Chain A
Amino acid sequence: MAEREKIVDELRLKYEGLFDVNELYLTMDKWFREKQYDKRELKNIEYVKPEGKFIELWIMPWKKITDYAKIEIKIRIQMFDIKEVEVEKDKHKVKLNQGRIQMVFDGYLTTDYENKWEGKPTYVFLRTIFDKFIYKGYTARFQSQVAEDVNHIHTTIKSFLNLYRF
């Protein structure tokens, strides 16, 4: 089996106020496309409730860095009490959503995703030696790339949500 290392563990983001759910979704999609990630949407749940909509999304885009390593970013999003409101912006009426968001970001570095080094215990041993000592510089660089990407998407979403504050 491929080895999956958690580099970013539960980086959180909370927001309450005005925003556009669809725009937020498309902003994330756009970011992943620009950064050459492949899309993977595990869950998309929407319940219409009297107090507003409840939306839950689990997305897990991934990107191959080399034939040996790939990055996976897991984002769990929960939105509560989402209501549609009309606000006036630059003398124009705009439809937006109001509610609460909770987001959890995890970043993973998966190595040997093609399971080439898993056939025999000798291979596993060699792979570990290879990862820890010979390939150490590259592994560290991959790990920092995971952290960088997760922080970047986190900042992008934070900036996107901050736009609605003013």
Chain B
Amino acid sequence: MTDYNLPQEILKFKGIFDMDLLYRSMRDWLTRRGYYFEEPVYKNKPNPMGGVEDEITWNCWRKETDYMKFWINIFIHTQEFNTIEVIKDGKKKKMNKARLAIYFNAKVETDYQHRWDKTPFLIWLNNIYEKYIIKPEMDNIYTDKLYYYVLKLHNIAKECLGMEAKGSEYEDVW
């Protein structure tokens, strides 16, 4: 079993946004793409500086092939989180004001069924398989595909937050 880790993506924002929209949009994107969605951590605590502090961890995975599994792990951290009322297009709307940080980590896990780690010979064979046979596909297809998936999710978060540096010319990749 080997993990191919991809570079971490960091998104930070301070201002007014709709947390509910952000949460739903990101979760819907993941579930629509066939990711199994787990939320092992949801911490909510009052902050002495004011507002509420939230820590949310998502572990999402999808079986890409019988041998490979895609993992997208997301950590959402909000500080000074407050609910405020704003007037948008002449209507009152509840929004949130906070400092937000989202960390995107992704990896490709191989041999997730542990079929190749039963005997020393299978481990050796798996090593050969990963180093010489499947390496080009791993570098050029699978890790690349997962990275562009993460970028798409990253872009959805930016759209929900109404950030200025958003959009992508790579939308049609994968």
Interface residues of A (CB under 8 A from B): 21-22, 25-26, 29-30, 32-33, 38-48, 53, 55, 57, 82, 97
Contacts and interface: CB of A to CB of B under 8 A. Distances in A.
B165 A21 contact: yes
Contacts of A45: 10-13
B15 A29 contact: no
B165 to A, nearest CB: 4
Contacts of A21: 164-165
15 contacts: A22-B164, A25-B164, A26-B169, A39-B168, A40-B147, A41-B154, A44-B11, A44-B12, A44-B154, A45-B13, A46-B13, A46-B14, A46-B15, A47-B14, A53-B15
B170 A47 contact: no
A42 B9 contact: yes
A29 B13 contact: no
Contacts of A38: 144, 147
B158 interface: yes
Given A39-B151, A46-B13, 15 more contacts: A21-B165, A26-B169, A29-B169, A38-B144, A44-B10, A44-B163, A45-B12, A46-B163, A46-B164, A47-B12, A47-B13, A48-B14, A48-B15, A48-B16, A57-B165
B167 A43 contact: no
Interface of B: 7-16, 144, 147-148, 151, 154, 158, 161, 163-170
Contact of A29 (B8, B12, B154, B167): B167
A39 B11 CA distance: 16
A34 B136 CA distance: 23
Contact of B12 (A26, A43, A82): A43
B14 A29 contact: no
Contacts of B7: 40, 42
Nearest to A56: B12
A103 to B, nearest CB: 13
B165 A44 contact: yes
Residue with the highest number of chain B CB atoms closer than 10 Å, among A25, A33, A43, A82: A25
A39 B158 CA distance: 16
Contact of B164 (A30, A40, A53): A53
Nearest to B168: A29
B164 A55 contact: yes
B170 A29 contact: yes
Nearest to A77: B165
Given A39-B151, A41-B9, A42-B10, A22 B16 contact: no
A53 B16 CA distance: 12
Nearest to A60: B7
Nearest to B162: A46
A87 to B, nearest CB: 17
